A = this chain, B = another copy of it.
Amino acid sequence: MVARTDAIFRKLGAYTTLGPQEAAMLETLQGARTFVAAGKELIYEGQQQHAAYILHDGWTCAYKRLRDGARQIVEIEIPGDFIGLRSLLLRNSDQSVVALTNVEVSKINTDRLWEAFRLTPRLIMTLLWAASRDEAMVTEHLVCVGKRDAMARTAHFLLELGARMELIGLGSSTTYRCPLSQSIVADAVGITAIHLNRVLRHLRESDLLLFRDGVVTFLDRDRLAQLTDFDFTYMDHYKPG
């Protein structure tokens, strides 16, 4: 039995409080926890009969690669997030997923998913909500890349990660641990690593945020949110009144 302080429970708890039966089913849906080393691929683009996982510890990212070798990171996964859930029904996975740190995951038992539809529909609805929320983040990511400049994108990206880390109890409103290299962040926000470096310097010199030694520190989160037009709505963190 896993403690209820587990990231996945914290995350789903932002939507609704799960009853003991639903919590038990969520456990039943998962296979044994396994460890994957940093750099290993969990899912690769084009893979057939791919699986979905729940990430319990560590960071992963979903990305697509172009023929010329360029890589666009679509999404960063942190503890409590699903991996590959979105494309479970597609015949070939449309993206790859790689472990960015050593991670701990559990495979989702998709056969029991249909059983869970009958027995604990509210749990399934919560899972669908979580999937929708992840989609909303991809959409916001698209807007970011399509319409904002490098600085706004970068700040927005780090603000969003911070809000997510705070939600699962791994960060505060001013700081969180972030094991991403600059080139990873650059591939996520769609600029070159070199330019990202210049942007980070600018943010630092403007006393807005620090990103050093694997730690992000917000020096003025309000001004950052203002600057980047950041809006927490799409993250849908707030329980219904």
- A residues with a Cβ closer than 8 A to B are 46, 64, 66-68, 70-72, 74, 86-92, 94-95, 114, 117-118, 121, 125, 128-129, 132-133, 135-136, 138-143, 145-148, 189-190, 229, 233-234, 236, 238, 240
Q: Most chain-B CB neighbours within 10 Å: which of A133, A143, A146? A: A146
Looking across the interface, which residue of chain B has its beta carbon closest to that of A139?
B74
* Cβ contact within 8 Å between B236 and A91: yes
Known A-B contacts A121-B117, A136-B94; A142 and B72 likewise in contact (beta carbons under 8 Å): yes
Identical copies in the complex: 2
Q: Cα distance A87–B118 when bound, in Å?
A: 23
* Cβ contact within 8 Å between B138 and A138: yes
* Cβ contact within 8 Å between B142 and A234: no
* Cβ contact within 8 Å between B95 and A139: yes
* Cβ contact within 8 Å between A86 and B121: no
Q: Cα distance A71–B233 when bound, in Å?
A: 17
Quick one: which of B229, B234, B240 contacts A94, CB cutoff 8 A? B234
* Cβ contact within 8 Å between A94 and B140: yes
Q: List 16 A-B contacts (CB under 8 A).
A: A64-B139, A64-B143, A67-B229, A68-B229, A74-B142, A86-B132, A90-B129, A90-B236, A94-B233, A94-B236, A95-B139, A135-B138, A142-B142, A145-B145, A146-B189, A146-B190
A117 cross-chain contacts in B, Cβ below 8 A:
117, 121
* Cβ contact within 8 Å between A87 and B132: yes
Q: Cα distance A135–B138 when bound, in Å?
A: 9
